[in-house]
Structures are given as structure tokens and as C-alpha cells.
Amino acid sequence: MNQPSTDAGNGGDVDSKLDSLISRIQSLSESGEERPKQQPRPAAGAQPSRVQSPPPQGQQGPPQQGPPQQGPPQQGPPQQGPPRQGPPQQGPPRQRPAQQGPPRQGPPQQGPPRQRPPQQGPPRPAPTKPAPASENAEEPLDPSQARPLAPAHQLKHALGFKPTRDEPWRPAEPEDLDEAGINESILEAIVYRYLLSVGEAEGRRIADQVKLSFRMIEPLMTRLKMEQNVAYKNATATNDYVYMLTETGRNIARAHNSDCTYYGACPVPLRDYIASVKVQTIEGQYPKKSDLLKAFSGLLINPRMLEKLGPAVASGRGMFLYGYPGNGKTSIAERVTGAFGQYVWIPSAIDIDGDVMRVFDPMTHQLAMPDSGTGIIDIGGFDKRWMRIERPTIVAGGELTMEMLEVQCNSESNISEAPLQLKSNCGTLVIDDFGRQKMRVDELLNRWIIPLEKRFDFLNMASGKKIQVPFDQLVVFSTNLEPKDLVDGAFLRRIPYKIEAENPPEEDFRKLFEIMCKVVKIPYRPEPIDYLIRTHYKPVDRPMRMCQPRDLLLQVKNYCLYNDIEIELKEEYFDFACENYFSVM
């Protein structure tokens, strides 16, 4: 017999003897019972990896029926079932059923643990299991199951609304809190504060306070009732309840009130406000000459100046209006907004990660809500948290300070107020009497030099958050001084249009008297106007201003009313008016 291979070691002889002994015991216990035959593995091209002893003589003949052959021990486990042609199997013995009979004798198995040897010859392909699409990076996804990239946040139009130039968007009424982007915790806190303030309220009155439909807040009120934080005081004829706080609810409401006292309309998410500004922006509207003539109706503007104003307004950027006082710079700036359409929608308040910032300001915004119907059922079809206003025109004069350009937070109520530039989005912001503000000119220029170019601004909240908001308005700097004497070239570059409001020629000056006589309701006669110019203007070389016809006619009217005489134009009346009006000029 050949010696066992060196890499098997002495452990190979011991294992072979133990395998032979196990085979003998099993053959005796099974009493000739035939075992299930095991399918032989394909051995095409297999080569033995070790030099082994030649098999015994008894295994060279034809296959035998019955239990495995019991002959001299051989290297490796004995064959089970009919022997296959080719080299004998190598490696550890296969797992066998539990032994029946006497326990196994001999020492425990020595040497390395037996494992199934690697397949010899050509590798057999392993059964493949289809991998999930998300785990298999090599296979392309099914186009029908692929998810498209999330689109940019878009706002819905109200049902049945058709956008126009005067009203490009109207907010759709949300179906639920998720669609409205409402944080239920904020809504709950507002309801607590409101009930703490009024004592008791019907469900629909609460819904009207937070500017939501009753079906959206009904689940919240039901939950607060189940938690015994609110109670039903009584029922109403409209199948509603009157809610009031319990003692536990009042304690919760006081805790909410100490954080913030706001209990107005439910705030709108900041992302919705940013999207609304993009829909209603003045940039890209490019008003035409007819739009400007409509906006400036009632004002007498020199055609030459109108040609300069047109491109400046259509750009939607900033411009300087400079010139002598009284030539209509402020009047022109206030009328510019009308060239961009009539209405915009702004939220009553904005939710910024739990901080509330009010946007709607009745002092600067002109409310113009559409008709939402009357009665119990609201047929408006729009989101009541938004307010429709006339496109804003905000004028800030000498009272402008740096604090007015930042978020102002009331330390007692913990409610933030939007700055002027955010309130004027989608409209016009007029800085009147530029250079005469309480703040220094360079402070204002440094604050706005980047927003004027990038069209967005950064605001600091009282909680420490910094947010990015649109800077989308036509900024008009109106000044009586030369722009080059106020600012440097870097700032002037960001204000692309500089337009001078010149003194009117005599022809326009006379035309203004004719227009203003209709306004102040004084019968027009050209003879007193000729006397005025001939006596009080040309001899002293007095410059004519756009505001003077209105001011002088008002003086004439007031003189007649005081003396209880007929209101008319006379030379002596103009003498009196000029003596008062030009006394220190």
C-alpha cells in the first residue's frame, strides 16, 4: 500500500479507520435495509488534487446491490450506493443519519475539521436569485416603476380660477393639514391661545379665526375633547358645539401663551411664500407703453421723460429719480406699480420652523379680498390664510432706520414682524428723500448692495436662524441731490437707470393749471394764468415746478371759502396766493 500523502498527516489514517468502523456498524444494524441512493456529482474534467493509494481489489468489479462494500479501509469516506466510474470522492464524509447501535468508539476526531472540498474542474454555476431592483446596481430599473425626481415646490390655483395679468395666481383651498403644510402642534397652540383669550367659541368660529375649514380642525377638536383639555359647553342649532377650556387645558394654554401670544390665521410655510413670489414676480412681466400710460393717467408727464421711464420700469430693477423738489418724483414712483398688474396674494403670517413672522400690514397694504359668498357655507374656493392686496407700494422717507430693514421681534409677544423690503415684494419700494434718513447712506448701501444684484436677501430670526427670502421689488431711490454726490460707483452700477425729473416747460405748466382746475373744482380761465406767469415768474426768473399749479389753486380756493365769496380765478387772488407761497423761497 502506498503511504498517505504528507499534507493529510496522521489524522488521515485515524479518520479512515473510524469511517470504516462506522460503515460496518451501520451495515449490521440496518440488516440489509437499502439506503436512499445519493446522486453523484458530475466529475467531468475533475482531476485528483492529492496522490492517493490505489483502491482495493474488491472495488474494481461491477457494482453491488445492498449496503456499502465492507473491505479494507480506503482514503476518504467509503462510497455509498453504486460506485461511480472515475476517481474516488475526496474530502470529509457526508453527514449521516443518527447512529443506531453501540456508541462510537475511539478518540474524538483529530486534525482540522472536515469541510466540503471546493469543486474540482469547471465551476458549477450557483443558483441565482433575482436581486431586488434597489440592490442590483447593474440592472436598469423598469421605466414604469422608476420614480421621477421630485419637482420644485409648486402651488395650486384655486378651483375654477383663470390667471390674468392683474391676478396671476390665487391660492387653492387645501383639503387637509398635510396639503396645507401645517404643523399640527402650531395649530393646536393657536387654538389654545384663542380659547384662553375669548373664553369660549363655536367650532366654526375657531375655524374662521385660524382661517381654515371646519373639517380640517374638527379632528383636532375631537382629540382635545377626548384628552379632556376642552369641554362642550352646549350645542348650537347648526350641529356645532361651543368649546371651552378645562382646568388642564387652561394650564396648557398659559404655557403656550408664555412662549408666543400669536393666535391669528394659521401661518403659511416659508416654502409656499417663496413659491408665491416666483409666481407673482414683477421681473419678466415687461410692461408696455400702454401699461405705463394707464398707470400714469391723471399725471402730466413729458413724453421725453416717459421714454426714459418705460425701459426702467420694464426691467423690474432699481432706478434713481433725482431732480428739484416738487417735480413729481414721489408721484411717479407711487404710480409705477400700476404697470405690473393690480393684485397679489400674501400670507397673513409665515411659519419658519416654529417661529411666526407677520407679513400682512394694514398700514402699508391695501386689502382687496374677492367675494367669498355669504351665509354659513363658504363658496370662495381659496385659501383664507392668504390675503389679496393691491400690488404694494411702500414709501419710506426720512424715518427709515436700519432696524426697519431687519426682522423685528417683540420680546413680550415673541411675534416677529417682516421688514419693509419683504412687505414690498412683488411691488415697489420707494426710498424718498434719499440721503436725509436717520441712518447713514453707506449703511443702507452696504445692507442692500448684494440683494439688489442677486435678487434675494438673508434675514436673521430672533431664535438665531438665518433664512433666505426673495428680494423681488422695484426699488426707486428718489432724491433732490445728485446721485454721484451720495453714493460710490459700485452702488450706482447696481442701479442701472438714473432719470432726472426736470422742470416742466411753460406749455406743460399751463396745461397743469387746466388739469388741476378740474380736480379742485374751480372754473378755468386762461387770462389769470397769463397774469400769474407774466407777473410772478418771468420778472424774477422763478423756476416752474410740477407741484405749483396744485398748491396755488388750493390757496385761491381756501381764500374764497374763508371770505365766503365765489370760487373763481382772479388776478388779485393769485397775488395773495403768491405772497404766501413764495414768501421764503
410 and 347 belong to one structural domain: yes
Instruction: Please give the pLDDT value at position 297.
Output: 85
CATH code for position 560: 1.10.8
CATH code for position 226: 1.10.10.10
Instruction: Please give the pLDDT value at position 5.
Output: 44
Q: Which three cell numbers mark 535?
A: 407777473
Give the closest residue to 110 by CA, choosing from 7, 6, 4, 13: 13
Asked, for residue 320, whether it belongs to a domain, the answer is yes
Instruction: Please give the pLDDT value at position 536.
Output: 94
Asked, for residue 463, whether it belongs to a domain, the answer is yes
Asked, for residue 258, whether it belongs to a domain, the answer is yes
Q: Of 263, 288, 305, which residue is a domain's last?
A: 263
Instruction: Please give the pLDDT value at position 138.
Output: 38
User: What's the order of all strands across the beta sheet hosting 355-358?
Assistant: 268-269, 349-352, 355-358, 416-417, 408-409
254 and 373 belong to one structural domain: no
* Phi, psi dihedrals of residue 251, rounded to the nearest 5°: -65, -40
Residue 564 neighbours by CB distance under 10 Å: 6
Asked, for residue 141, whether it belongs to a domain, the answer is no
282 and 427 belong to one structural domain: yes
278 and 238 belong to one structural domain: no
291 and 410 belong to one structural domain: yes
Burial 94-110 (b: 16+ CB within 10 A, else e): eeeeeeeeeeeeeeeee
CA distance 331 to 547: 10
251 and 278 belong to one structural domain: no
237 and 379 belong to one structural domain: no
Beta strands 355-358; 416-417: pairing state:
parallel
* Phi, psi dihedrals of residue 190, rounded to the nearest 5°: -65, -40
For the chain (585 residues), the mean pLDDT of every run of 10, in chain order, is 45 68 71 47 44 44 45 46 47 48 46 48 44 39 36 66 92 93 94 96 96 94 96 92 96 96 96 96 87 86 88 87 90 89 95 94 95 57 95 92 94 94 95 87 86 92 94 92 81 86 93 93 95 94 94 95 94 94 82
CA distance 276 to 382: 14
Q: Which three cell numbers mark 3?
A: 503511504
Asked, for residue 379, whether it belongs to a domain, the answer is yes
Query: What is the distance of C-alpha 485 from the center of its chain?
Result: 41
506 with 541: CB under 8 angstroms? Answer: no
496 and 511 belong to one structural domain: no
Q: Of 243, 263, 283, which residue is a domain's last?
A: 263
CATH code for position 367: 3.40.50.300
Instruction: Please give the pLDDT value at position 300.
Output: 82
CA distance 391 to 556: 36
The number of folded domains in the chain is 3
Asked, for residue 120, whether it belongs to a domain, the answer is no
Asked, for residue 99, whether it belongs to a domain, the answer is no
Domain that holds residue 329: 272-501
Instruction: Please give the pLDDT value at position 269.
Output: 96
Residues composing the chain:
585
539 and 552 belong to one structural domain: yes
407 and 486 belong to one structural domain: yes
CA distance 326 to 435: 17
Instruction: Please give the pLDDT value at position 379.
Output: 54
571 and 521 belong to one structural domain: yes
CA atoms within 13 A on the CB side of 67: 15
Asked, for residue 162, whether it belongs to a domain, the answer is no
Q: Of 263, 281, 309, which residue is a domain's last?
A: 263
375 and 431 belong to one structural domain: yes
